Structure 1
Amino acid sequence: MPEIDADQPKKKGSMLKWIIILLLLLLLGGGGYFAYTTFFAASGNATEAASENPNAQAQGKPGDIQMVTLPTFLVNLADPLGRRYLKMTLDVELVNKAAAEELGKQTPKVRDAIILLLSSKSYADLATPESKLVLKNEVVERLNLILGGARVRNVYFTDMVIQ
């Protein structure tokens, strides 16, 4: 008759217990990380954005928002062979009518800044949706520098062709 080792079932049960504990700890850690990034980090970013520009709310009311369409931009991209180009039309959302008038007065500076920004990009820089969002943010930043303050709320790409 074969001998049955009494320690064998104990070893399996002990190892299973440690695996379950490890999995539970990993699940708790993942849940804690998810809760932190979802609830705590997001509210911290909103607080930082509000502290960076405390008068952003006071500059424009929802009824004052103005949309301005900029003329189409056609630029060569910064690719090694120089054979790619970008054609883009932008709509700019401004906080009030005064900002829209200022944008009209600063058209040469605006076009210059956007042309320099767009021509510094390569096809690879514009290929993904994330990179297009980065480009939108860069355009908003440059326009706000030209107009002074947070007068541009958003930029919308209404036409974009990369060839």
Structure 2
Amino acid sequence: MSAVAAAAPANGEAPAKPKSRKLLFIIIGVVVLALIGAGTALFLLKKAQSEDEEDGTELTAEEEHAAPLRDPKTPPTFLPLDSMVVNLADPGGNRFAQLGITLQLADAKTGEEMKTYMPSIRNGILILVSQRTAEQMLRTDGKQALIQDIMAEISNVMGYDYERPGAEPAAQGKKKKKAAPSPLEGVLFSSFIVQ
């Protein structure tokens, strides 16, 4: 074979260059283009997915209140608070209210967590009640407003998100981390005396 290889250049013909180098450049080019295409597709898919999560998966206020936090087949947990006696905001300061409050919670775990915040919760409730007059406390709409205020106060102390029923949703322009919905399902009065 060496004689044939040596004879070929003697004839004046240049030896044929292997096409492998040209083929190698073509393969490398195709692989690089495929990687760039895959990277671009992945980037666009992730961007579209993050936009969908921001826009499409948020529940409206009505949907949040309609979706229960616990399984409806399981009973709620009740956490009774110690009885409270509070001076009311009537002129003269001679009116007071004695309240027995029980909190309705989604689960027992929340009740245990809430016990660690109980001094702050009681303080917030006492301040809310002390800002009301006897007339406000005796009206049905005043009691309902007090319940909503207590739920908002407890949710705030615990770090949960709470929107009052019928209230307009928060401004959509601001992007802030949304807190978990409040597992506080209700505020029940076990005693309600105004004197």
TM-score range, shorter chain: 0.5 to 0.7
Query: What is aligned with 1:154?
Result: 186
Could you tell me how far apart the structure 2 residues matched to 1:48 and 1:147 are? 20
**How far 1:78 moved relative to its partner?**
0.6
Amino acid at match of 1:103: M
Query: What is aligned with 1:50?
Result: 63
Deviation readout 1:11-67 (Å, 9 max, x if unpaired): xxxxxxxxxxxxxxxxxxxxxxxxxxxxxxxxxxxx63225x69x63x422316210
Amino acid at match of 2:185: R
8 Å contact kept, 1:95–1:151: yes
Could you tell me how far apart the structure 2 residues matched to 1:95 and 1:113 are? 21
Amino acid at match of 1:94: L
Query: What is aligned with 1:119?
Result: 130
Could you tell me how far apart the structure 2 residues matched to 1:113 and 1:138 are? 10
Query: What is aligned with 1:87?
Result: 98
**How far 1:97 moved relative to its partner?**
1.4
Deviates more, 1:125-134 or 1:72-81: 125-134
Could you tell me how far apart the structure 2 residues matched to 1:157 and 1:61 are? 24
Identity among equivalent pairs (%): 23
Query: What is aligned with 2:116?
Result: 105
* TM-score, normalised relative to structure 2: 0.54
Could you tell me how far apart the structure 1 residues matched to 2:106 and 2:76 are? 5
Q: 1:137 aligns with which of 148, 152, 159?
A: 148
Structure 2 gap ranges (5+):
1-59, 161-181
Q: CA distance change for structure 1 residues 137 and 122 in 2, over 3 Å: closer, same or farther?
A: same
Amino acid at match of 1:154: G
Cα RMSD of the aligned pairs, angstroms, is 1.8
Task: Report the count of equivalent residues.
Answer: 114
**How far 1:130 moved relative to its partner?**
1.4
Secondary structure of the 1:80 match is coil
Structure 1 gap ranges (5+):
1-46
Q: 1:75 aligns with which of 77, 86, 102?
A: 86
Are positions 1:60 and 2:66 aligned together? Answer: no
Deviation readout 1:117-153 (Å, 9 max, x if unpaired): 0111111221211111111111111111112221210
* TM-score, normalised relative to structure 1: 0.64
Deviation readout 1:84-135 (Å, 9 max, x if unpaired): 0000000100111111011111110111000000111111221211111111
